[in-house]
Amino acid sequence: MDEIDKILPTYINLKNPQYIEIDENYYSTILVVNYFREQNDLLLKNLIENNINMNISMFYEKKDTYKMIRELTYHIGNTGVDLENKNQNSQDIDLIAFSHNDAKYIRKQMQVNNEELYFFYLYINLYEKNKKELEYVLNKVEGLIQSRGMQTRRAYFRQEQGFLSILPIMNNQEDIKKITKRNILTQGLVCTYPFISSSIFDEDGIYIGNNIYNNSLVFINRYNNNKYKNANMCIFGTSGAGKSFYTKLLILRNILIGIEQYIIDPEREYYNICKNLGGTYIKLGPTSNTHINIFDIRKESIEEDEKGYLATKIGKLIGFFHLIFGELDEEEKAIIEEKIIECYKQKGITFDDETLYKKEENKITITKIFKESNDMPILEDFYNILEKDPKTKIFKTKLIPFVKGSLKFFNEHTNIEINNSLIIADIYELGEENIAYGMYLFTDLFWDKIKINRKIKKAIYLDEIWRLIGITSNKNVASFIYKIFKTIRKYGGSAVAITQDVSDLFTLENGIYGKSILNNSSIKTFFSLEEENIKILGEYSNLSEKEKIEIKSLKRGECVIFAGENHILTKIETNEFEKELIEKEIGENNEKNNYSITK
């Protein structure tokens, strides 16, 4: 079989004057035969924004300027004479006056403003699987077109010519040109611009879904520094709207292009995808045997040309103890910092960065090695120091659950090595009251990992982020999270904020942290939300009234995506393989398997 035979239809039926039948599809063409004398808006705006099976063809014929000016001058002269001689009560006097004035206007634009004159032709071809559906969309499109001041005619007995005119072969059929020809100036061509529905097709982007209005594909490369000011994202949506599935889909598709990803999972939603993709799964809680030490100072916590390991760590620890002790005044913070310094000093660690290195000697050289977790203090060391000072005994009391009680798994040295491009931190067992501690602990860990290599693209996902920047948190912790969103770009990273409790994002410090994170996210995805949350979002983002209505009425798996300046109503699309990979059970009990490490 020749290549051309592969694309040719098996049959074409031209017997009916109202449509053409090609391979069990019915095609019918609408001819646009007239327009308003003046157009101030885009002709095709309300047509293209509808998801209708159609092909639109426009032809522009540029006319010879000198010849057209000469013909216009001749026409002006004739109509001028008619106006002088005609009886003012004549029925066609107004038409002659309109024609005379229009000709003078066009000639002036061409002579004074150097505009060109074109003949314009517009054809719209619709197609459906059955005749009933075709008739429905024909009536719908005719209504939409006529609402813009255009007159139409169906191409009865000229369906073949109409179909040939919309094919991409630049063939404007003579039989239908005569009734569709309309003159238009260069300035008027703007009204015919067809690419009016927003679309996103970033080079090297990942597939997100389809534009609901025009069915165009949505590809986003959030690491495109030329287009987006940062790679950060916000994903908001009520329970069951599809935000969790969408997040997992992003993780899956980003894995395929080599992006390192770290996910904090407070609801145990990412276990299946972690195991199916060979990721590292870390569970923190009473039943786990894996531990992360909050006092760890990691080599990657500052960059090679920087200094100040202990000073950097103190700031993070102050934020963590804010969560445990509640809001601290300046005097209390100073006392806590003094005790932290003493705690590290007991382990031989001071503000001199050299104290964080051990020396290993052999017969030839002396090697410096960065200290490990076992060389660091733990919460119990800090607890013992607090116990010695009467001024800090109240803080010591609040640490009892972490040292001797139900949360003593925080009082351990780190016992795992994490070398994987996908890491899930499960903090589900911590419960509502304690979950913020786990979120902060892993955020600190993942932030250090993100800073290791600027050349590697990576992302950190903060599910239920309101716990860290909402009213239950404090400004020190919120400032740390905001710092991540503000500076992660320079490390080749992306921070992703996920929540269904939008209102809680803006409860701390009059919402300044929630607003800052929203403003520092170039990509925003809004799934269906309750009216109250939409109202709050409207105060902190540039949602139009139309978008507010859309967000409220979105179906599961539909969202409004803000990508830079583009606002796209999108349906998330996935195939069966991806869906199965994300949702299927793999026969392992996550209660028994605390973690796995796969390189």
CATH number of 401's domain: 1.10.8.730
> Domain holding 470: CATH number?
3.40.50.300
245 and 284, same domain (yes or no): yes
Distance separating alpha carbons of residues 532 and 395, to the nearest angstrom: 39
75: in domain: no
> What pLDDT sits at residue 584?
74
> What pLDDT sits at residue 596?
38
> What pLDDT sits at residue 198?
65
Which of 415, 446, 474 terminates a domain? The answer is 415
Q: Is 407 left (phi over 0), alpha (psi -120 to 50) or beta?
A: alpha
Q: How does pLDDT run along the chain (599 residues), one tens digit per residue?
A: 577 777 889 999 999 999 999 999 999 999 999 998 877 778 887 787 777 899 999 999 999 999 999 999 999 999 888 888 766 556 678 788 888 998 999 999 999 999 999 999 999 999 999 999 999 999 999 999 998 889 999 999 999 999 999 999 999 999 999 999 999 999 888 888 876 666 788 988 999 999 987 788 999 999 999 999 999 999 999 999 999 999 999 999 999 999 999 999 999 999 999 999 999 999 999 998 899 999 999 999 998 788 999 999 999 999 999 999 998 899 999 999 999 999 999 999 999 999 999 987 766 777 889 999 999 999 999 999 999 999 998 999 999 999 999 999 999 999 988 889 999 999 999 988 899 999 999 999 999 999 988 999 999 999 999 999 988 888 889 999 999 999 999 999 999 999 998 988 999 988 999 999 999 999 999 999 999 999 999 888 888 888 899 999 999 999 999 998 888 999 999 999 999 888 875 444 443 344 333 32
548: in domain: no
User: Cα angle at 567 between 562 and 571, to 5 degrees?
Assistant: 85
299 and 345, same domain (yes or no): yes
β-bridge partners, 367: 360
Long-range contacts of 329-333 (CB under 8 A, 24+ apart): none
405 and 463, same domain (yes or no): no
279 and 174, same domain (yes or no): no
Count CB neighbours of 27 within 10 A.
Answer: 21
User: Cα-Cα-Cα-Cα dihedral of 203, 204, 208, 209, to 10°?
Assistant: 50
Q: Is 389 left (phi over 0), alpha (psi -120 to 50) or beta?
A: beta
Helices vs strands, H then E, count in the chain: 21, 20
393 and 281, same domain (yes or no): no
431: in domain: yes
Distance separating alpha carbons of residues 189 and 252, to the nearest angstrom: 44
Nearest C-alpha neighbor of 561 from the set 263, 217, 276: 217
Integer-rounded Cα Rg, in Å, for the chain is 34
What is 58-88 written as a DSSP string? EEEEEPPHHHHHHHHHHHHHHHHHHHHHS-T
Domain count, the chain: 3
339 and 396, same domain (yes or no): yes
β-bridge partners, 578: none
566: in domain: no
35 and 135, same domain (yes or no): yes
Distance separating alpha carbons of residues 447 and 280, to the nearest angstrom: 17
427 and 387, same domain (yes or no): no
Quote the domain boundaries for residue 286.
232-290+419-523+580-599
532: in domain: no
At which residue do the structure tokens 């061409």 appear? 110
> What pLDDT sits at residue 319?
93
Query: Which helix (H) or strand (E) covers residue 381, if one does?
Result: helix 379-388
Determine the angle formed by the axes of helices 531-540 and 545-552, rounding to 10 degrees. 150
391 and 434, same domain (yes or no): no
Which of 388, 415, 442 terminates a domain? The answer is 415
> What pLDDT sits at residue 543?
86
Distance separating alpha carbons of residues 60 and 34, to the nearest angstrom: 15
101: in domain: no
Residues 6+ apart with CB under 8 A from 219: 200, 201, 202, 205, 206, 207, 208
328 and 450, same domain (yes or no): no
Which of 415, 433, 464 terminates a domain? The answer is 415
> What pLDDT sits at residue 5?
78
441 and 344, same domain (yes or no): no
Q: What share of the chain is helix, strand, coil (3-state, %, to 5)?
A: 45, 20, 35
407 and 467, same domain (yes or no): no
557: in domain: no
Cα 332 to its chain centre, rounded Å, is 42
357: in domain: yes
